[in-house]
Amino acid sequence: MLLGGNRMIEQFRSFVRGGSKPEKLTIADLDSSNIPAHVAVIMDGNGRWATRRGLPRVAGHHTGMKAVKRTAIAASDAGVKVLTMYAFSTENWVRPREEVEFLMKLPQEFFPLEIEELIEKNVRIRMTGWKEDLPDYTLEPVLDAIERTKHNTGLILNFALNYGSRKEMVHGIKELLADVQAGKLAPDQIDEKRFQAYLLTGDLPDPDLLIRTSGELRISNFMLWQLAYSELWFTNVFWPDFTEQHLYEAIYEYQRRKRRYGGL
C-alpha cells in the first residue's frame, strides 16, 4: 500500500511539473522514478571564467575542482548512479605546457582533500582513459582513490582522463579483430552489443543525459558511441560557477522530454 501511495505522489508531482518550472529547484521537485542513471558532463569554461576575472587560466581549473565535488554530491543525493566527468582529453595535450602541467597536478590536490567525504558519501571512483601517457604524480592519486573506494556501492564518479572517443573506438576495433583472428569470435557474432563490450565503458550504461557548460554546442570527441540516444543539455554557465541548482535544472528538463529511440 505504501509503495502504491508513493507512486501516486510521484505521478501527482509529475502532473504538477507540467506547468511552470519552480523558481528555485530542489531534489523534491524532481521525479525520483525518472532520475537519469548515467549523467555525463563536459566541464567547459574554466579558462574563460578566470580570464574574465583578470586571473590566470589555471585559477579557473583550480576553482573548477570545487564544482566537481559539489556536482558529485548533488548527483549522489538525487539518485544518479554514474557521473562521468570529462577531465582531460587526448587532444588537450596540445595546450600550453604550463597549463597541461597544472592540470596534471590537480589530482594530487583534489583527492587528498576530498576523498574522505567522498568515502563517507559511498562514492566509488573510477577512471576511463589511457593511463600510459599520464605522469606518475597524476596517476598515483587517482589509482589510490580507486583502491580506497573500490568497495563502495553508491555513485560511480568516473573521470574521463586522457580520454578520446575516436581513439577508444579504434582501440576497440583492434581488440575485436584480434579476437576474430584468434578464433575467439566469429564475424557473424559481431553486433552493436558485442562491439560495445570492447569500449572502455563497456560495463557501464550509456549516458541518459549529457551536460555541457560554457555555452559551447558540441560534443568534442566525448563518448561518441555512447551518446547516440542521450538527451543533451547546454548551459552558458562556466564550469566553476556550476551548482547543484544547475544539475537539478538539467535533470528537470530531462524529465520533461520524451525519449523515443527512433520511434514515435
241 is catalytic: no
Annotated catalytic residue: which of 44, 46, 162, 208?
44
Nearest residue to 200 via CA among 154, 163, 252, 254: 163
Sheet with 231-234, side-by-side order of all strands: 124-128, 156-163, 82-89, 38-42, 209-212, 231-234
Nearest residue to 214 via CA among 240, 193, 195, 191: 240
- In angstroms, rounded to a whole number, what is the distance separating the alpha carbons of residues 164 and 161? 9
Residue 32 DSSP label: G
Report helix, strand and coil shares of the chain as percent, to nearest 5: 50, 15, 40
Pairing of strands 209-212, 124-128: unpaired
6 is catalytic: no
Annotated catalytic residue: which of 34, 92, 152, 221?
92
- Provide φ and ψ at 121, rounded to 5°: -85, 5
Active site residues: 44, 92
